[in-house]
Amino acid sequence: MKKRFCVLLFLFIPLFFYSENLSGIWENGSKIIEFAAQENADSAQPLNDENRSFNMRMVLKPYYAFVFEPLKTVSATVKNRFDISELYYLGIEYPRERHRVQIPVCIFQDALFTSFFQRMPYYTHREEIPEEAIPVGITAEQEAEIRGEHKSLLFGFWVEEGTPDGILLYPNEIPQHITAYFFTEKGYIAFRYWKDDLEYRQSSSSFTADDEQVYEIPQYLQRGEAVYTCTTGRGRQLRNYQQGTYTITGDKTQGLTLNLKPEKAGPGTHAVWNLYPNSKYPEITDLPLYITETGQIFSYGAPFLMRSKITDLDSEVTKHNALRRPSREPLLLPDKVDFFDSEHN
């Protein structure tokens, strides 16, 4: 039996997103962030230029978004992964920090994600089909099925990148765990890598998926100085996971949605609560699904920031804060209070 090394590229994705320039103003319900090219930087340079620098300014929307609170501008750099056009590393120079804090971000057209999943290599023990074993006269689809080629956009191994906390006023904490998925044609396995006091080494962990194939993935991950493992004790078998089925619905005009239906857990003691606290096999439906043009990154749910229609941040803050704040609703309305309640007198 021959071991196969798999790194899959999907170039026929129905919903395409193209990499965009980071420059400009982005916002969500709680903050506005502006990335302005520094005066000595050429804004026409490509994003993979290592000398690309920005002034990053953040405006908070406290008090139910009525008052905009501008914060101090900080310096930031951006570097693009040459092999994944949608992936960028944002280096923020926080006050009182000796080094820039690196935050992976992914830009999908007018959406900016700080939490997403990146396709990673894996190994399988599936035997390769020799040419002489392929029947003559069959269709291309039939041949692809015999060879075990994959139709699902998500087939493969995916590891979480970035942070669900987004871009904060201070450095993000080191995550205590990293979520990972392995998708087959119809099923999936979800598990986590836990941060542990271990020495990183190249080792693999294995599991059997719903298609009865044995897959091998890295047993350890390293993020900076932190080391994570997906196994407990000295074992190399993946035991703490949830297993289920999934579907992708929608089209390129209306968008894609992801539906996850957990069905059972692995034999490990942390298999259930580790991924879905206080709930047994919750079904997750109609999650907006974003898959990049290269097929190397996907994300689900809402993006952290959307490109804003604001063109002048200073003017917008001044204009917004000049608005008169509406009067608060009284806690008790006079016609609702009965001072002569016979039951209490």
Question: Tell me: the pLDDT tens digits for 132-184?
Answer: 545 555 555 544 554 556 789 999 999 999 999 999 999 999 999 999 999 99
- Phi, then psi, of 66 in degrees rounded to 5: -85, -35
**Chain mean pLDDT for the chain:** 81
CB of 101 within 8 A of CB of 94?
yes
Smallest CA-to-CA distance from 181 within 200, 202, 203, 155 is with 155
Residue in 280, 263, 202, 276 with CA at minimum distance from that of residue 236: 202
Residue of 283, 285, 304, 291 whose CA lies nearest to 251: 291
Ranges 124-128, 212-216, 292-296, 305-309: which has the least confidence: 124-128
**Residue 335: exposed, middle, or buried by beta-carbon count in 10 A (0-12, 13-18, 19+)?**
exposed
Overall average pLDDT of the 310-314 stretch: 96
d(C-alpha 152, C-alpha 245), whole Å? 13
In a domain, 342, yes or no: no
Higher pLDDT, 264 or 283: 264
Q: How far apart are the C-alpha atoms of 344 and 339, rounded to whole Å?
A: 10
Q: Total domain count for the chain? A: 1
With contact defined as beta carbons under 8 Å apart, do 179 and 190 qualify?
yes
Residue 339 belongs to some domain of the structure: no
The conformational region for residue 343 under phi > 0 = left, psi -120 to 50 = alpha, else beta, is alpha
Sign of CA dihedral 61, 64, 66, 69: negative
Q: Establish if 292 belongs to a structural domain.
A: yes
| Element of type H or E holding 62 | helix 62-65
* pLDDT at residue 175, as a whole number: 92
115 lies in a domain?
Answer: yes
Residue 9 confidence (pLDDT): 38
Is 192 part of any domain? yes
Domain range for 36 is 4-323
Buried b (16+ CB within 10 A) or exposed e, 15-41: bebebbebeebbbbeebbbbbbbeeeb
Q: Which residues are CB-contacts of 144 (< 8 A; sequence separation ≥ 6)? A: 151
Which backbone phi and psi does 132 adopt, to 5 degrees? -70, -15
Is 63 within a domain?
yes
pLDDT tens, position by position, 35-48:
998 865 454 555 44
Q: Give the lowest-confidence range in 155-164, 238-247, 252-261, 322-331.
A: 322-331
Query: What does R_g of the chain's alpha carbons equal in angstroms?
Result: 25
∠ Cα 233 239 240 (to 5°) = 95
- pLDDT higher at 311 or 332: 311
- Using CA atoms, how far apart are residues 87 and 107, in angstroms rounded to an integer? 7
Least trusted range by pLDDT, from 16-30, 113-127, 155-169, 250-264: 16-30
Using the structure block, give the residue that is written with the tokens 């297993």: 243
Determine, yes or no, domain membership for 57: yes
* Confidence label for 114 from pLDDT (cuts 50, 70 and 90): very high
Q: Do the domain assignments include residue 330?
A: no
Q: Is 166 left (phi over 0), alpha (psi -120 to 50) or beta?
A: left
Rounded to whole angstroms, how far apart are CA atoms 12 and 15? 9
Question: For residue 35, what is the enclosing H or E element?
Answer: strand 31-37
**pTM: predicted TM-score of the whole model, two decimal places:** 0.81
Residue 324 backbone phi and psi in degrees, to 5: -80, 130
Q: What is the mean pLDDT of residues 65-94?
A: 88
**Running DSSP on this structure, what letter comes out for residue 185?**
S
What pLDDT does residue 107 have? 92
Do 251 and 14 touch, CB atoms closer than 8 A?
yes
